[in-house]
Amino acid sequence: MIAPQLTPDVAGISQVIVENMAAQAYRSGILSSREVSVLLGHESRWETEDFLAAHDAWPDLTAEEAAEDSRALNRLMAS
């Protein structure tokens, strides 16, 4: 019988939706990586980092944040 194979996995679909929402919220700056970790029940920071990397979820940097990163790098290079 084909019907059981076509029945949607509601729990699996729900998890995909939550994961996609978490990744997008992180990208948009709505959630921190810690909040993503709690939302998804991750056991470690590394699990969250792996999740975010797998979903190409990188936070958007403001111009000031990029400038501060550049200044910090220059200070480290000068040391």
Q: What is residue 62's predicted lDDT score, i.e. its pLDDT?
A: 73
CA distance linking residue 73 with residue 35, whole number of Å: 28
Q: What is residue 14's predicted lDDT score, i.e. its pLDDT?
A: 87
Contacts of 60 (CB under 8 A, 6+ apart): 27, 28, 29
The segments of the chain whose pLDDT lies below 50 read: none
Q: What is residue 20's predicted lDDT score, i.e. its pLDDT?
A: 94
Q: Is the pTM of this model over 0.75?
A: no
C-alpha angle 32/51/36, rounded to 5°? 25
